């Protein structure tokens, strides 16, 4: 409609996915906007000849930022990247409210389950996990959180959720949602003890959070019982249900985040790209945080679009906050 070529189709396999990435790279980009670092990784491994033209890039996701920081640490990053995911106007809203709502939406559309009374196991309590747990709780579910980070686990406890090792939660849960950003979060040992009828969904970045090869090896048969729902009949007679082939359930079975939360993430992307162009040649080749002034600008723009005004500090208050001389 706007004359912009789009290289993507719903349900594409891995080969087609990377074909689309390479087709996009054929346009010899000067700026990159990535979501998971696959495009940047392809540039750094298979299309190195294009890197000299790249001014900089941005990264949208937690998983992508982790990968790019690893690339930087290994000494392989070739141009500056701004970690949009780490901006307050991204993770406090897109991650928490966007992922929280769209994950529940995807599971509901795929299964038409009643959430009230269900034991929902949320694997990972980052900001996305916060949002999923909050929405499931609001629908009347009994939420169990599993974590490997002690501070996040403690926060989940203080937020009112049960916290336990996943091997214990695996015996209790009706619905399992992985949102940890790591591989084999739900592994063979967990699958072996799940109750008959358990539902498995992933809202982390890639389809590796649930060990699907292990699930396949435990099953004697598999059938698709409705769109986005595969029933695995295990050798012991139990049935487990995998949603969206283990891919992002909010995209596979629903429509992703509402535009009214994604607008902040897209605004961050645009303003950060402008910042990189204006500062071309002066930014160190590393993963940078979003400049604080851009983060605050996006928040102000969002409030303005909602018709909300807030107070401002008086000169006296600003002076008080920047002075060490005034006390009790």
Of residues 85, 88, 82, the one with CA closest to residue 276? 82
pLDDT band at 13 (very low <50, low <70, confident <90, very high): confident
SS3 of 37, please?
A: coil
Higher pLDDT, residue 213 or 7: 213
What residues does CATH 3.40.50.1480 cover in the chain?
Answer: 14-89+258-310
Q: What digits encode the pLDDT tens for the residues 87-116?
A: 999 999 999 999 999 999 999 999 999 999
With b meaning 16 or more CB within 10 Å and e meaning fewer, what string describes 8-26? Answer: eeeeeeeeeeeebbeebbe
pLDDT digits (tens, 9 = 90+) for 184-199: 999 999 999 999 999 9
pTM of the model: 0.89
- Residue where the block lists tokens 């949320």: 122
Written out in words, the top-level CATH class of the domain with range 99-252 is alpha beta
- Summarised one tens digit per residue, pLDDT across range 51-70 is 999 999 999 999 999 999 99
| Residue range(s) in the chain whose domain bears CATH number 3.40.50.720 | 99-252
pLDDT computed for residue 328 by the predictor: 67
The CATH number of the domain covering residues in 14-89+258-310: 3.40.50.1480
């Amino acid at each position: 409609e706007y004359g912009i070529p789009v290289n993507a189709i719903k349900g594409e396999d891995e080969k087609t996915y990377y074909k689309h990435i390479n087709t996009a790279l054929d346009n010899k980009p000067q700026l990159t906007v990535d979501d998971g670092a696959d495009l940047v990784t392809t540039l750094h491994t298979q299309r190195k000849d294009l890197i000299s033209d790249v001014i900089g890039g941005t990264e949208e996701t937690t998983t992508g930022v982790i990968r790019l920081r690893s690339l930087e640490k290994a000494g392989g990053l070739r141009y500056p990247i701004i970690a949009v995911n780490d901006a307050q106007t991204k993770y406090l809203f897109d991650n928490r409210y966007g992922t929280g709502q769209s994950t529940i939406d995807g599971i509901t559309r795929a299964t038409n389950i009643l959430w009230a009374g269900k034991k929902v196991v949320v694997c990972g309590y980052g900001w996305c996990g916060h949002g999923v747990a909050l929405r499931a709780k609001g629908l009347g579910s009994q939420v169990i959180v599993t974590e490997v980070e002690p501070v996040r686990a403690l926060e989940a406890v203080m937020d009112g959720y049960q916290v336990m090792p996943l091997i214990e939660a695996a015996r209790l849960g009706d619905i399992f949602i992985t949102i940890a950003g790591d591989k084999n979060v739900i592994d063979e040992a967990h699958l072996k003890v799940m109750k008959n009828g358990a539902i498995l969904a992933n809202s982390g970045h890639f389809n590796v959070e649930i060990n699907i090869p292990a699930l396949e090896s435990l099953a004697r048969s598999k059938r698709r019982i409705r769109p986005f729902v595969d029933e695995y009949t295990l050798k012991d007679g139990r049935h487990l249900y995998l949603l969206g082939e283990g891919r992002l359930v909010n995209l596979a079975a629903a429509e992703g985040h509402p535009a009214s939360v994604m607008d902040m993430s897209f605004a961050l992307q645009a303003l950060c790209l402008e910042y990189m162009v204006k500062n071309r040649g002066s930014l160190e080749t590393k993963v940078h945080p979003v400049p604080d002034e851009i983060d605050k600008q996006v928040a102000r723009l969002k409030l303005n679009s909602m018709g909300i005004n807030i107070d401002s500090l008086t000169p006296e208050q600003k002076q008080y906050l920047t002075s060490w001389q005034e006390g009790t």
